[in-house]
Amino acid sequence: MVGRRASALLAALVLYGAGAAQTAFAEAPPAARTGHRVQAYKLESVQVIGSTRMTSAQLVQALGLVQGTPLDDQFVMSARSRLLGLGLFKSVILVMHKGSRPGYARLVVEAEDDTGVLGDWALGGELGITADEDDTAQTASGSNSAPLNYRMGLVGRNLFGAMHRGSFMVDFDGTGSLRAGQLAYGMPRFAREDTQFDAELAVVDPYYRYLDTLGFGGRGQGLWSTTLASGLGEFQYGAAMYVNRLPRFGIRGFPETVAGPKVAYYSETRLRGFFPGAGHLIGASLVLSPVHTEQSLLELDLARTFSLADWVYLTFDSRALTVGTDGYSLRAESRIDVPLGHAAQGEDQAELFLRLRGGHDSLDQTSLVGSAAILGLRYHSSGFISELAVKVTRSPQELAPSSLGKTIGGDR
């Protein structure tokens, strides 16, 4: 009797173990089945919940998803960073659910809209007032008082509720004269091709905003961007035009116009926000001038931001542009950002900042040097940023109207 019971118990244990092993094999992810190489689930479908700013179809476009995309760790990290980088969400969580076919999974994106930007269009803006102590400007105006400068900007990260992006910025001095302006527009990403298109127009008066230029007083470009494999950044291609229009929007001695096809590489690991995110930026581009190849432009951009326990942020930024092999334009900046308190994302935020900037241009007989120190306070609320600052500027004397008049025959 005991022997029969022992045999029955042993048989039950064997049958249970076989059933458990079969169940474990059926439910295990693909990685567990191979026993050797990790294999990720493949994408079957996508669903967005918790957000009124993005539909599932728009998310597919934003991330360039296609059915069968491997849902590995690299994809999860890259997708989360790209979604947060859109400036639409306060938080993003990616969850995978078992799909209808073996080896496939449904991707559910739980997104919380960022209340720090306004409405479904995710609008934001900036208003800055700066008192500028500039010896060159004072000499030209005959005034000993520090002039006030006004900067206004507006940005939309989800225009028309269709993932279109746009920005507009103008910079005026106390007399109402335009000193800088910028207009940019970006189309949503095309999912199947994994590309997106961005266009930009910008002008700068180098006499008053020397450090905001880089060899030219105006530029326009239209670029397509496609993501490189393994999260290595973006490859950009299109056309660009760099112009100098004396006497107001140009740097004497540099080419009047350089236009042609442009190719570029761009990679950034920083998450842009009110406070700078830790990480780096690497950018490089080439504008090939088909008419005057000796005036082709090579541009480099390197930046690194360090976070000291979220109490202080240190940023070092350098930009360079070469004109053929004969000329160059350099800009460098060191920045310190000190948050005032530790507000959560979406709440009102404030900071003190200090910027130290310098620049140098050289081409043929032209040699320019300028510098600036800026101390200010910034405040962020409901998607809009206000800024009050004091700036001490040393602009190149060669850009003063009296100096330009010797070359062009008159003052501006």
In whole angstroms, give the CA distance from residue 251 to residue 248.
Answer: 9
Cα–Cα distances in angstroms (integers) from residue 149 to residues 134, 208, 391, in the given order: 12, 10, 10
Q: What is the pLDDT of residue 192?
A: 57
- What amino acid is encoded at 18 in this protein? A
* Domain-located, residue 30: no
Position 15 scores a pLDDT of: 40
Residue 400 phi/psi, 5-degree rounding, is -65, 150
The domain that holds 58 is classified in CATH as: 3.10.20.310
How many other CB atoms are found less than 10 A from the CB of residue 366?
14
For residue 370, the domain's CATH number is 2.40.160
Same domain, 195 and 46: no
Question: Does some domain include residue 332?
Answer: yes
- Judgement on whether residues 343 and 250 belong to the same structural domain of the protein: yes
Q: Does one domain contain both 313 and 225? A: yes
| Contact indicator for 158, 143 with CB cutoff of 8 Å | no
Q: How many domains does the chain have?
A: 2
Residues 235 and 93 in one domain: no
Positions in the chain whose pLDDT score sits under 50: 1-2, 5-6, 8-29, 31-36, 405-412
| Strand pairing category for 234-243 and 195-204 | unpaired
Phi and psi at residue 342, in whole multiples of 5°? -130, 75
pLDDT at 89: 84
Residues 331 and 404 in one domain: yes
Question: Is residue 3 situated within a structural domain?
Answer: no
What pLDDT does residue 193 have? 60
Residue 8, Cβ neighbours under 10 Å: how many? 10
- Both 252 and 349 in one domain: the answer is yes
pLDDT of the residue at 401: 59
pLDDT on residue 281: 95
**Structural domain harbouring 51:** 40-113
Q: pTM to 2 decimals?
A: 0.76
For 376-407, what is each residue's pLDDT tens digit?
Answer: 999 998 888 999 999 999 988 877 655 554 44
In a domain, 225, yes or no: yes
